[in-house]
């Protein structure tokens, strides 16, 4: 239908981007499930109007009224959302008009104007993502491969279209890593040298907003980081980013040395254990371990540059204080109840962060014992309950109030310190 509507208007319609890549890669497999389809409209003899993509999307919505339409004004693109059956999920179809992007200065947000399909493909990141399949007649089904994408798909190479690609948009470094690891491709040597050149020339400073430019770049970096850190392949991707020195885009001093690598993996095992239901955002927690590895002064700034949520920024800003407090106080607390009282001021992510970071001997105390105590707190002590609860106290004739709360606290303390261990001893304790 989309092709027919385009043909009626004298336009060409192309399938572009990831869908073409994935279809070609899946050629020998039985099925490929597309969740996201990008279409581009182009004029037949001259470039289509900027609004052509939106017009086509509106025409399709008339034919399929159940479909949701969103128009994104700035780049004149439209998105259609189809709710397929519950097993297949939904399908997004983005329709844009062929366009060229200009980067007014390196790492800026692109400015856009209507152009031909070739130029549209030239603005894309890698050859394997710059393929198009014509959907309209004549020559429907024809593959447009201006930059050797097919060959790169066959030889499994990630290759940029031009030398300035990473300077224009440093988030492409993260995309290169993501595709390389996900598809099991290689970053082609010349492309790798462009990445290293872009990093060496300090392109990451643009991301950290040093020149007050391109805040949207941080948003894009965050979304690429999210993609990578939530994917099943996040570990090799992180290693490849580190190998390319691309973690400098997060902060110039960030390096994945052995200690940080150990911390990240231990942290992940802790998350699996303490948050199996994934109530926390695990990708964000992984990012927090990386940020926590920076000097205390940088942490809050990096977290807010990346627009992490307020609780995450606060956690990273206060981590140093919490760490000092816990590392210094814990060894001096002989009683279980005192340890519980100290640690329950902190939430799970803070405690895991501190536990995994306790590897060196800091403050002249063995931090191994600190880690063991946090671990015992999380696995056992935080779950210990007194044999009597508030309702039991009420049944014994006590009225809720200040003293009531004190009794409950005292009961818990006595239970933790093993002075009472059953109802009888607890009742005797309360009476006393
Ligand atoms: P995925 O399967 O991960 O969604 P995709 O290739 O569809 O892969 P998107 O991020 O959805 O990736 O982007 C769609 C297309 O837009 C890409 O295939 C690429 O052609 C282009 N693109 C996206 N981001 C950039 C970028 N930063 N620079 C240049 N082109 C880009």
Tens-place pLDDT, residues 326-353: 988 988 888 989 999 999 999 999 999 9
Six-digit token string for 325: 């407090």
In sequence order, which residues have a C-beta less than 8 Å from that of residue 228 and are 6 or more positions away? 174, 177, 178, 234, 237, 238, 241
ipTM score of complex = 0.98
Give me ligand 1 centre to Cα 129, in Å: 7
Instruction: Determine the pLDDT at residue 72.
Output: 84
Encode pLDDT of 212-245 as tens digits.
444 578 888 999 999 999 999 999 999 999 999 9
Peptide bond into 138 cis (omega under 30): yes
Give me ligand 1 centre to Cα 194, in Å: 19
- Tokens 């200040």 belong to which residue? 402
17: Cβ below 6 Å to ligand 1?
Answer: yes
Q: Residues 154, 147: contact at Cβ < 8 Å?
A: no
Give the count of beta carbons closer than 10 Å to the beta carbon of residue 116: 17
Instruction: Determine the pLDDT at residue 207.
Output: 66
Give me ligand 1 centre to Cα 175, in Å: 8
Strand pairing of 186-187 and 157-158? Answer: parallel
Q: Which residues of the chain have pLDDT under 70?
A: 28-30, 44-48, 74-75, 84-85, 88, 100-104, 107, 109-115, 206-215, 359-368
129: Cβ below 6 Å to ligand 1?
Answer: yes
Instruction: Determine the pLDDT at residue 260.
Output: 95
- Using the Cα atoms of residue 302, residue 229, residue 91 and residue 28 in order, give the sign of their dihedral: positive
Surface-to-core class of residue 231, CB atoms within 10 Å of its CB (0-12 exposed, 13-18 middle, 19+ buried):
middle
Nearest to 304 by CA among 295, 316, 319, 322: 316
SS3 of 43, please?
strand
Tell me the best of 16, 18, 89, 178 to mutate to test the pocket of ligand 1, counting ligand atoms within 8 Å of each CB and taking the most: 18
Six-digit token string for 108: 């800026």
Instruction: Determine the pLDDT at residue 129.
Output: 98
Instruction: Determine the pLDDT at residue 292.
Output: 97
Contacts 24+ apart (CB under 8 A), 22-28: 23/133, 24/131, 24/150, 24/153, 25/153, 25/183
Average pLDDT, the chain: 88
38: Cβ below 6 Å to ligand 1?
Answer: yes
Q: Whose CA is nearest to atom 25 of ligand 1?
A: 125
36: enclosing H helix or E strand: strand 36-43
Give me ligand 1 centre to Cα 126, in Å: 9
> How many alpha carbons fall within 13 Å on the CB side of residue 431?
7
């Amino acid at each position: 239908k989309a092709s027919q509507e385009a043909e009626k208007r004298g336009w060409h319609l192309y399938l572009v981007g990831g869908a073409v890549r994935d279809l070609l890669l899946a050629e020998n497999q039985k099925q490929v499930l597309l969740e996201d389809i990008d279409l581009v409209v182009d004029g037949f003899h001259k470039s289509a109007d900027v609004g052509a993509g939106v017009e086509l999307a509106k025409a399709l919505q008339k034919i399929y009224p159940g479909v949701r339409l969103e128009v994104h004004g700035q780049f004149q693109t439209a998105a259609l959302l189809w709710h397929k059956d519950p097993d297949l999920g939904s399908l997004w179809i983005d329709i844009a008009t062929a366009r060229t992007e200009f980067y007014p200065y390196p790492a800026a947000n692109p400015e856009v104007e209507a152009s031909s399909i070739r130029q549209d493909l030239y603005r894309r990141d890698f050859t394997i993502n710059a393929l198009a399949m014509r959907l309209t007649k004549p020559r429907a089904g024809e593959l447009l491969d201006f930059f050797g994408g097919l060959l790169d798909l066959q030889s499994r190479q990630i290759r940029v279209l031009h030398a300035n690609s990473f300077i224009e948009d440093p988030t492409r470094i993260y995309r290169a890593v993501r595709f390389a690891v996900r598809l099991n491709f290689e970053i082609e040597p010349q492309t790798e040298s462009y990445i290293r050149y872009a990093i060496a020339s300090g392109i990451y400073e643009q991301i950290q907003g040093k020149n007050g430019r391109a805040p949207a770049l941080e948003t894009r970096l965050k979304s690429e980081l999210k993609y990578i850190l939530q994917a099943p392949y996040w570990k090799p991707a992180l290693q490849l980013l580190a190998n390319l020195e691309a973690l400098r885009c997060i902060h110039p001093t960030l390096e994945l040395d052995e200690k940080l690598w150990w911390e990240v993996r231990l942290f992940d095992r802790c998350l699996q254990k303490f948050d199996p239901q994934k109530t926390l955002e695990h990708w964000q927690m992984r990012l927090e371990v990386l940020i926590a590895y920076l000097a205390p002064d940088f942490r809050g700034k990096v977290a807010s540059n990346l627009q992490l949520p307020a609780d995450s920024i606060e956690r990273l800003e206060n981590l140093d204080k919490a760490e000092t407090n816990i590392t210094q106080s814990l060894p001096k607390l002989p009683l279980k109840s005192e340890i519980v009282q100290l640690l329950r001021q902190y939430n799970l992510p803070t405690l895991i962060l501190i536990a995994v970071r306790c590897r060196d001997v800091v403050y002249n105390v063995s931090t191994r014992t600190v880690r063991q105590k946090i671990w015992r707190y999380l696995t056992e002590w935080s779950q210990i309950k007194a044999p009597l609860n508030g309702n039991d106290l009420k049944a014994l004739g006590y009225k809720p109030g200040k003293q009531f709360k004190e009794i409950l606290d005292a009961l818990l303390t006595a239970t933790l310190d093993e002075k009472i261990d059953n109802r009888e001893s607890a009742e005797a304790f309360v009476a006393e």
